[in-house]
Amino acid sequence: MSRQIVIVGGGASGLTAAIMGARLGARVTLVEHMDRVGKKILSTGNGRCNLTNLRMEESCYRSDEKGFPMRVIGGFGVEETLGFFRELGIEPKDRNGYVYPNSDQASSVLDVLLWEASHERVDIRTSCKVETIEWIKGENNSFYYKICTTQGIFRADALILATGSRLRRPQAPTAAGTSWPKSLGTG
- Nearest Cα to Cα of residue 159 among 2, 3, 1: 3
Does 22 score more than 50 pLDDT? yes
Question: What confidence tier does 58 reach under pLDDT thresholds 50, 70, 90?
Answer: confident
Shared domain for 100 and 36, answered yes or no, is: no
The mean per-residue pLDDT over the stretch 138-160 comes to 94
Owning domain of residue 59: 50-104
Shared domain for 128 and 94, answered yes or no, is: no
Residue 54 gets which letter from DSSP? S
Shared domain for 81 and 27, answered yes or no, is: no
Measured CA to CA, the distance from residue 15 to residue 8 in angstroms comes to 10
By DSSP bridging, strand 143-149 and strand 130-137 are: antiparallel
The mean per-residue pLDDT over the stretch 61-87 comes to 86
pLDDT in tens, 77-91: 899 999 999 999 999
Does 7 score more than 50 pLDDT? yes
pLDDT in tens, 114-146: 999 999 999 999 999 999 999 998 888 889 999
Shared domain for 72 and 99, answered yes or no, is: yes
Shared domain for 156 and 187, answered yes or no, is: yes
